[in-house]
Structure 1
Amino acid sequence: MDEATIIDFTRRDAVIDPLTDLLRKGARDLLQAAVEAERDAFLAAFAERRTSDGRAAVVGNGYHPERAVQTGIGPVTVKVPKVRAKDGKPVTFRSALVPPYVRKAKSIEAALPWLYLKGISAGEMDTALKVLLGPHAAGFSANTISRLKSQWAGEYEDWRKADLGRDEWVYIWADGIYSGLRGADDRLCVLVVIGVNARGEKHFLAIEDGVRESTQSWREVLLALKSRGLNAPKLATGDGAMGFWAALEEIYPTTKQQRCWMHKSGNVLNYLPKRTQPKARKMLHDIWQAETREDAHAAFDLFVESFEAKYPKATECLIKDRDELLTFYDFPAQHWLSIRTSNPIESAFATIRHRTKRTKGCLSRDGMLNMMFKLGQCAEKSWRKLRGFHHLADVIQDVDFINGIKPSNQDQAAA
């Protein structure tokens, strides 16, 4: 998305909805952090100026009264910091981002989605904030940008050490996200794990640098999660091509495995000619949409019989994960939509994949990880609870679901 496209967004009418409210809060946090970083850079420039007793001569002095900058998504409040001199030589701090008397920034609404994706890159932050507050935002120095980057990197490191033992984690999704890097022969593979707790809340658990989704890389990720208190999840969902499964069997051997139907369908269809793919896609759909495991096996057998003679690689690709593709039948039917695929990860990082293709690897490795972390934080705030989350208590208690139904309920239905 280029700057012209972003600015065009300012012509749209703002709609007050939960997403707008989320973006407004994001704008407030970004602006507050940015002006405080400006203040810190300003103070650093006077670091050698001292009073007669050796103390810093120029120091922070609280904040001006909170003020609102009117934007296309409503008022965004910010408190501009103040400084004072203790040696009798007056100094004045003025924010380049929020100059005195500025009360309106028309382009904030357009810039916010872009900033979530580009805000970590030092080379692009200045341009991004000029889009945010207009050309008069010049003066956002490299030192200020560096301070903001350090702050975000620190947040990422603190998040990686957060205690996971306070929650019971029921399901996890795992996937590897590939992105380009500046000056690197190989693409960065970010190993991502999302979990859902007993209350049905979905959270990122890991966003880590990996080596081509290898078993060793996933082992390190899972060991780190275990050391932070992650219990053995009841089910893990992911692509069958990952080294994740070997590592999972080693670290969490009791966790059941569900292969992602989205990945599997794409892999199977790749072995078929285009003219055959629509029919094959419908037959694959009939497998994972079957009401019972028995019906799914029947649809599975029909697919194999239909394509095995001419396209053995396609059927082999499907057969090798047969049991793991149908694990979801052992869990509540209300959860099937979520646990059959790794879509929670795919959807969260769809914009990242688009962005990295356009930038052609302009970000550093650390910058990419920090950017994905910030994007993940933003995405989490808009996630809904797992559908049918009240059934998670039964899953935790190891209730045996038969074709998605508790045995007692199934017996009553049969009667």
Structure 2
Amino acid sequence: MTIARLRQAWADLRDAFWVRPAAMTLAAALLAGLLVRAEGAPLPDWMAGLVYTGGAAGARDMLGTVAAATIGVAGTVFSITVAALTLASNQMGPRLLRNFTRNAGNQYALGALLATFAYALVVLRSVRDVAEGAFVPQLAISGALLLAFLCIGVLIWFLHHVATSINVDHVVALVQGDLSRALARLPRRAAGEDRPPDEAPPPPAEAAPLLAPAGGYLRVLDDAALAEWAAARDAVLHLRLRAGDFIFPGSTVGHVAPPAAREEAQAALDQALAIGNRQSAEQDLEFVVRQLVEIGLRALSPSTNDPFTAIAVLDRLGAALCELVDHTLPSGCIRHDGTPRLWRRSTDYPGLLDAMFHPLRQDGAGAAPVMIRLLEVLAEVAAVEGDPARRAALARHVELAQAAASAAAAPDAAARATLADRHRAARAALASPPGPRPSSRP
């Protein structure tokens, strides 16, 4: 398996709902077997009074009750989780289901119940009455009692957790946390660095085309491996894709020069792509942005009409842009020993702003509170962003927001006056001297 596919498989494994419950169930079964084998070992005095001292019949009844109760509650927990997922899907969009299924709290709650069920079954099979040669693993049975009380606490916590996790503000904060972690992985901007984005040159006329090996969403691109391959063969690759793009099978996705390296380049490209049926946040920064934007768009729909959720989304997007001040976005050029070896599409700052604000501005143009907050957010970001090119992109969105709000012609004179005031404040923030560079920050 290639590096790209390994990275995506590891990301999928981290997000899988079944991994933690399965691991906890297996660990509980092994623990039960160990405690059964440890029966008869000397115990500290303080523990001796806590160990189960009943007979085989009582042990069977208790273990059967624990097993039946925990598997029943596990079914209830699963039903509650499905109901929460359905509600979240209807209110905030199906693409956010990943945030619920990968939630560690949900997985640990279900895992605790299933682990207790497996533990009770393993211990139950070792209980024998007098006719079979009496054996009552008192230490292991005491462990089942302890796990049963633990499950009561887990159930109480889970009900609170589900009620909290479907709150829209909590979900917005979770998605913004994903975005913050993605931004933190970007390279930090060096002191005094205002490097313009790399302009990809057109491929040479003699360059040979490279075709997509399959159809689907590009989830991971191993660009470092492609650049090393190109350097080893003194070749240059031009790719027309980036993580998050939908690839059509058999389409031309790039070129290689010299053309004599086409077959090897095609094989290297096939190994460097991880293609799947859905998008992934592994390398696609805009994927997390679109999740936030989708929450805001659904809140602005006529059936929901919830401008306050859209405002919360704008606040989180503005916070992400302020965090981006200290970082550089991925370059469209991968160099090897200083020589460009791989050109590819990449997320740039204007494109990131477009993904954030175009849909919200278009759908929220008629909602004065949303447009007022949009102008305020842009002004706040402009006050801390010192890069001239980025400030120019912010200025473009300030003017687009003002034009959209003016075209909507809000009948409320106070709203029009407030919009004009926020527009002036945003332009003033952009005209003021740039904020402190990242290197001067504590």
TM-score (norm 1): 0.22
- Structure number with higher helix proportion: 2
- Structure number with higher strand proportion: 1
Q: Based on CA coordinates, which of the two structures has the bigger radius of gyration? A: 2
TM-score (norm 2): 0.21
